[in-house]
Each structure stands twice: as C-alpha cells, then as structure tokens.
C-alpha cells in the first residue's frame, strides 16, 4: 500500500513530459522546415548566376542582371545583388520564410 502523499504523481510526470515534447516540437518544426528552403534559395542563386553569365557571354541576348532577376523569380526568390565583371557574373538572391529572410550568392562564368 502506498502512502497517500504520492498519489497522482505519475499523472503530473506524464503531463510534464507531454508538455516538454510539445514545446520541443513547436521549436524544431519551423527550424527544420527552413532546411529545404535554404537549398532552394541556393539553387535559385546558381540558376540566376548561370543566366547572367550566359547573357554576358553573348550566348543569350539581353541584359545579364535582367536575366538573373528573371531566373531568380522563376525559382521563387528575389535578386538582391548582381555584378558582372567581364564574363563572370556574381549574384545574390533572397527569399522570405516566415519571419526569417534566407539569402545566398553564387558566381558563374567560363572556366579559367
């Protein structure tokens, strides 16, 4: 027979454990959801840099930074920076995810 003072202590432990698991889940899910978006932003930066480099080399007609902006928009990102030095294009893109803005940059051009 148990003493009366310990009655119901298992319920308190279970409720505390459920609260801890819920809190941990509420914190980790948004953080882990940003991982695939981060990869998508890097892909958008790569595509934008390649588009700008192709345009700078004359392979595609147009303005390099305009082509980079279009490529970034097609990949659900916004062009935040673009520089072209000869045939080498360097771009930066960003994308908002909730309250966080993820950014990435990429460089493309002919092989040395």
pLDDT mean across residues, the chain: 91
* Cβ atoms of residues 53 and 108 within 8 Å: yes
Mean pLDDT score, 82-111: 93
Identify any residues that bridge with 95 across adjacent strands, giving them in sequence order: 102
What does pTM read for this prediction? 0.74
Q: For residue 87, is pLDDT > 90?
A: yes
Most distant CA atoms of the chain, gap in Å: 88
- How far is residue 11 from each of residues 2, 5, 17, 45, measured CA to CA in Å? 15, 14, 10, 52
pLDDT in tens, 13-57: 899 999 999 999 998 988 888 888 999 999 999 999 999 999 999
**Per-residue b or e along 1-22, where b marks 16 or more CB atoms closer than 10 Å to that residue's CB:** eeeeeeeeeeeeeeeeeeeeee
**Res. 111 pLDDT band, cuts 50 70 90:** confident
């Amino acid at each position: 027979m148990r003493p009366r003072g310990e009655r119901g202590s298992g319920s308190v432990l279970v409720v505390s454990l459920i609260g801890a698991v819920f809190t941990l889940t509420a914190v980790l899910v948004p953080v882990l959801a940003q991982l695939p978006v981060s990869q998508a932003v890097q892909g958008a930066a790569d595509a934008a840099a390649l588009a700008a480099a192709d345009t700078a080399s004359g392979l595609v007609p147009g303005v390099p930074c305009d082509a980079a902006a279009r490529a970034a928009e097609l990949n659900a990102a916004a062009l935040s920076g673009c520089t072209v030095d000869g045939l080498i294009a360097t771009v930066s893109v960003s994308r908002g995810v909730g309250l966080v803005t993820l950014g990435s940059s990429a460089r493309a051009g002919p092989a040395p």
